[in-house]
Amino acid sequence: MIEHLQDVMMISIAELVECRDENTGGHVKRTAKYVEILTKALVERNIYSDILNKDYVKDMIRSAPLHDVGKIGINDKTLLKNGYLDEKEFEFMKTHSKLGGETIQRMINQTDGESFLYIAKDMAQSHHEKWNGTGYPDGLKEEEIPLSARVMAIADVYDALTTKRPYKEAFTHDKAVEIILDGKGIAFDPVITEVFEEINSEFELARQIL
């Protein structure tokens, strides 16, 4: 009962953030599904088995909807801009990851520190980090980046690429896959990227359904 209530609250918070931006409708639901697909594929292949135990996997899938919660702190002028962001606006937009981490940390401080909240914080704060250390907000690299955030990075980018935005048309599934594979070992964990290459058709199927 308590766990169900937690899930309902997380989804409600995530959808509240998302409803501010009509251009990303469904992003929360789709990325959560992609995270589930990719994580289960890793488990099936016994990859990162030292981290991906039953509880970690469950908590990661549960907390995925909160990865963009920091966007609640981005003003409408920037969040809803109908076009490309200029440099100053982009730098401001990038703060959403840090804001997300701080928001969830406050939730941790006010509770008994539920395990899923720590994973939610990792995903919110670090899903824009890059394997080669050029991401944000902390410039983490390789396995310094929490595993949950490395999985979310691929899910998040795939959805961004295959969704129409004011500044671009939606890319095809094949083009999105090509871009992600080009980022292997640069933006994305090379091992997770290889698994994505194997199972990317499941992403396409989920995208068509959701």
Q: Are 52 and 42 in contact (CB under 8 A)?
A: yes
In the prediction, which pLDDT does 22 show? 56
Among 210, 179, 200, CA closest to 37: 200
Residue 179 CA, chain-centre distance (Å), reads 17
Q: How far is CA 195 from CA 41, 44, 103, 128, in A?
A: 7, 10, 32, 20
- Provide the phi-psi class of 48: left if phi over 0, else alpha when psi is between -120 and 50, else beta: left
Higher pLDDT, 2 or 53: 53
Q: What is the mean predicted confidence (pLDDT) over 24-49?
A: 91
pTM of the model: 0.91
Rounded-to-integer distance, Cα 75 and Cα 164, Å: 21
In the prediction, which pLDDT does 3 show? 67
Q: Provide the residue ranges of all domains of the chain, joining segments of one domain with +.
A: 2-209
Rounded-to-integer distance, Cα 195 and Cα 189, Å: 10
Q: Are 135 and 183 in contact (CB under 8 A)?
A: no
Q: What is the CATH number of domain 2-209?
A: 1.10.3210.10
143-180: per-residue pLDDT in tens? 999 999 999 999 999 999 999 877 788 999 999 999 99
Residue with tokens 């016994």: 46
